[in-house]
Structure 1
Amino acid sequence: MTSLIKMFVLIILLSSSALISLTDDNNYLDININYLSTGYFDNKKVVDDLIRNKELSDLINLNEFQKVEKELEKIKSIKSIDVYRNNYLQLDIDIKDREPIAFIRELNSYMDSSGVIFKKYNSSIDSIPEIKGIITDGEEFKILKVIAALENDDFFENKLKSITLKGDDIYLNIKGFDFDIRFGNEFQLKNKLNMLKGFYIYQFNNSSNKKYKQVDLVYNNRLIAIKN
């Protein structure tokens, strides 16, 4: 009788261990992808597909999370990614996308506020300005300064339509302005914007004034308006 009881207890213990092991294994396979971005791109599905491939799946099973992160960071539209196991041994992946501030037509790519350029795929963002022309090495930072100056100005915020690169000069196209703006370089930004703002307000309040095809801001402390 005693032997029978011992055997019964042993069976219960073995069954419990198997159940616990099965539960842990299920948790171990659970994957939570936490999307921390505003949704410019759909990298959640891309990451989910990649981590189920054998190469990354094997790395995950070995807890080689840094190697997994390095592989996933090859997706240029991802700004940061963190792979780890939570307290329940479930796999957590935190994704933060880059936020594009301009579309580069020549490269069919986006640029973010750090100057990182990454390819445009299926998504299209109409609310950001377009950059036309060829960007040479280091020129993206000059463009970033101009875009930042416009976005930080209450009058020009969200009004930039496009930037065109012609030689050493930057040309702007701004919503509500019916003329081209030869902006020149990225220096004296505040002064240039103040002159442009004053000219626009003057034109707006004097509708009988002549129309202009271009405004030049390349001369020191001067605005030159070219008539049609």
Structure 2
Amino acid sequence: MKINYNYIKAILVLGLVVFLYGFAEKRNEVRELSHLEVEFTQTENLYLTEEAVNKLLIQNKLAFEKVGKETLDLNRVEAVLNNHAMIENAEVYLTLKGTLKTRISQRRPIGRVLGKPAFYIDRLGEKMPLSPNYSARVPVLKGVTENDFEEVYPLIKYINSDEFLTEHVTGISRLSGGVYQLEVRKMDFDLFFGKVERIENKFNNFKAFYKKAHKDDILSTYKMVDLQFGNQVVCTKK
């Protein structure tokens, strides 16, 4: 009977490959995690620091430096991070070298509501606490409560999306009857917006008025600018 040595060699090579793969996999499983690497999607980690993320995991008994890779529950890590008041979304994964990487999108405020305590409204229209690390430069909202979020959110969202308005509108006041008045940077006049409706039309009218009045150097002569009447801007002089 003729022995097929090539067949035997193939079996031995296959067995060696399976053994080495299993050995490497076992070592990879029991290897302890080396360190945490935090990536913030924004250019600056304004409201939350890498140290704060590390502390958060330790406080929730996820001190990963002493944990084997096979025992770490990535879903739990993500859940802990996503429950943080300053985090909008967190993604967590492991590298082959044992690095726990987290990619974090922080919540972004678009308005600051005065009150006791004060708080932000974020870009999704939800309540967000103030941060001890950073104070956002956003319009200040007066006379607004959580019950008014649905009403005022389209207004502050539009302001936040517009470069001109972001630069010039510094405050928003809710008056009785659900009408709004805006404060404009370095201007003495009150900007009466009215109800939160026809937002784009009203602001386009205001931009046209502002551009013309600024060119004519007469902005300082007004005490009230009213945007609520159709396609016109009604002004009251001092």
Q: Do Structure 1 and Structure 2 share a fold, with TM-score over 0.5? A: yes
Residue 37 (structure 2) pairs with residue 32 (structure 1): yes
* Counterpart residue type for residue 33 of structure 1: V
The corresponding residue for 2:128 is: 118
Contact 1:40 / 1:99 at 8 angstroms: preserved in 2?
no
Question: Runs of 5+ in structure 2 lacking a partner?
Answer: 1-22
Contact 1:24 / 1:89 at 8 angstroms: preserved in 2?
no
Between the aligned residues of both structures, percent identity stands at 21
Question: Runs of 5+ in structure 1 lacking a partner?
Answer: 1-16
Q: Deviations over 1:15-36 (max 9, x none)?
A: xx9xx9699634x243222233
The corresponding residue for 2:57 is: 51
CA distance in 2, matches of 1:154, 1:176: 17
Q: CA distance change for structure 1 residues 101 and 180 in 2, over 3 Å: closer, same or farther? A: same
The corresponding residue for 1:219 is: 229
Q: CA distance change for structure 1 residues 66 and 225 in 2, over 3 Å: closer, same or farther? A: same
- 1:162 CA drift (Å): 1.1
Residue 105 (structure 2) pairs with residue 84 (structure 1): no
Aligned to 1:55, the other structure's residue is in SS state: coil
TM-score scaled by length of structure 1: 0.75
The corresponding residue for 1:14 is: none
Aligned to 1:190, the other structure's residue is in SS state: helix
CA distance in 2, matches of 1:54, 1:136: 30
Aligned to 1:134, the other structure's residue is in SS state: coil
* Counterpart residue type for residue 111 of structure 1: I
- Picking from 165, 175, 179, the partner of 2:185 is 175
* Counterpart residue type for residue 62 of structure 2: L
TM-score scaled by length of structure 2: 0.72
CA distance in 2, matches of 1:189, 1:170: 12
Residue 167 (structure 2) pairs with residue 165 (structure 1): no
CA distance in 2, matches of 1:55, 1:108: 31
- 5 Å-filtered alignment, 1:1-40, equals 25-26=31-32, 28-37=33-42, 38-40=44-46
- 1:145 CA drift (Å): 2.3
- 1:46 CA drift (Å): 1.5
